Amino acid sequence: MNETFTVTLSNPVNATLGTASGTATIIDDDGPAISINDVSVVEGNGGTTNAVFTVSLSAASPQTITVAYATADVTAAPIRP
């Protein structure tokens, strides 16, 4: 949510007040956070196994939220101790 405040000038010395107040708005650009979980699958000897990733939004938003994603072939590598 945006936040607004006003600054008011008063009691000038050796000057007169023209415009005595100004309004500032802090635009909320934090928005909710998007996260994706880690997945482990058991290697099989045939067929395919789906790895299902869950993408989550930290909080509801009145705005439409989008995120780009991509997969790449041949990027899996064994983890060696």
pLDDT for position 44: 78
pLDDT for position 31: 76
- Token pair recorded at residue 62: 């009145």
pLDDT for position 13: 94
Sign of the C-alpha dihedral, residues 20, 4, 27, 62?
Answer: negative
Residues paired with residue 56 on neighbouring β-strands, in sequence order: 35
pLDDT beneath 70, residues of the chain: 74-77, 81
pLDDT for position 55: 93
Residues 61 and 31: beta-carbon distance below 8 Å = yes
What whole-number distance in Å separates Cα of residue 62 and Cα of residue 53? 24
Q: Which residues contact 2 (CB under 8 A, 6 or more apart)?
A: 25, 26, 27, 28
What whole-number distance in Å separates Cα of residue 25 and Cα of residue 6? 9
